[in-house]
Amino acid sequence: MVVQKDLEEAIETVIAGEQKKGAVISNHERMIVAYHEIGHALVAAKCKNTAPVHKITIIPRTKGALGYTMQVEEEQHNLVSKEEAYQRIMVYTAGRCAEELIFNSITSGASNDIEQATKLARAMITRLGMSDNFGMTALETVNNAYLGGDTSLACSSETASKIDEEVVNLIKKAHDEAYQILNDNKMKLHELAKFLYERETITGEEFMEILNKPAEIPAQSTRA
């Protein structure tokens, strides 16, 4: 799960539903979560327009949130460029990408990431004028912005179908690029996931220090 908030306490409200602190998970699940969170962090570090990684943990905080990667902006940030929005989607997809790359399987751990990626992709297309196909056209309106911000489409059913298709394609493109980054840095993914698995919580400084040093290549055994 990716978190871009300044206060750790805000983690408790990220996923709706029953709260369950101190959840106990198996070692195998802890390993999956370690790769998942390092996937987020590694892609974030390789993107030029994302906030720095501040903290990564695999200590469960809520039911359904077995770990998180926290990114914190270095300075006040009010405007979001198209490149920044797209790379945020890449980071959201990166946890699932790590699971696919390492375990050839997927889990429910990306549920919140999927929700956030979909919301952002849809907003880019319908409200932020960041679609090449629709341009500066408002296709969605926000109702009761101060009471939850429900949205409603302001277009034909045919256009709505095209919006859905573009959202899917945008997220798929971001997913594929994130997957390629992880595949290109697979040794670092292994090294960092192992470090996080052993430590459970690491700082952004520790993460970047390992990421920036040469990859450790396991020694090959030799026969006498």
Give residue 5's pLDDT: 54
**What are the per-10-residue average pLDDT scores of the chain (224 residues)?**
60 41 77 98 97 95 79 89 98 98 96 97 96 93 65 89 97 98 98 97 98 73 42
Tell me how far apart the alpha carbons of residues 159 and 181 are, in angstroms, rounded to a whole number.
33
Give residue 171's pLDDT: 98
**Helices 82-103 + 157-184 axis angle, to 10:** 60
Are the C-beta atoms of 173 and 89 separated by less than 8 Å?
no
Give residue 19's pLDDT: 40
158 is catalytic: no
Asked whether the CA dihedral 177, 182, 184, 185 is positive or negative, the reply is positive
Give residue 57's pLDDT: 97
Question: Is residue 104 classed exposed, middle or buried when 0-12, 13-18 and 19+ CB atoms within 10 A define those classes?
Answer: exposed
Tell me how far apart the alpha carbons of residues 185 and 189 are, in angstroms, rounded to a whole number.
6
What's the token pair of residue 18? Answer: 């029953």
Going by DSSP bridges, is the β-strand pair 201-203/68-71 parallel, antiparallel, or unpaired?
unpaired
Domains of the chain: 4-212 (1.20.58.760)
pTM (2 d.p.)? 0.84
Give residue 10's pLDDT: 46
Q: How far is CA 59 from the centre of its chain?
A: 17
Secondary structure letter of residue 155 according to DSSP: S
Give residue 94's pLDDT: 98
Burial readout 136-162 (b: 16 or more C-beta within 10 A, e: otherwise): eeebbeeeeeeeeeebeeebeeebeeb
Give residue 61's pLDDT: 73
Q: Residues, the chain, total?
A: 224
Give residue 223's pLDDT: 45
Catalytic residue among 9, 12, 18, 37: 37
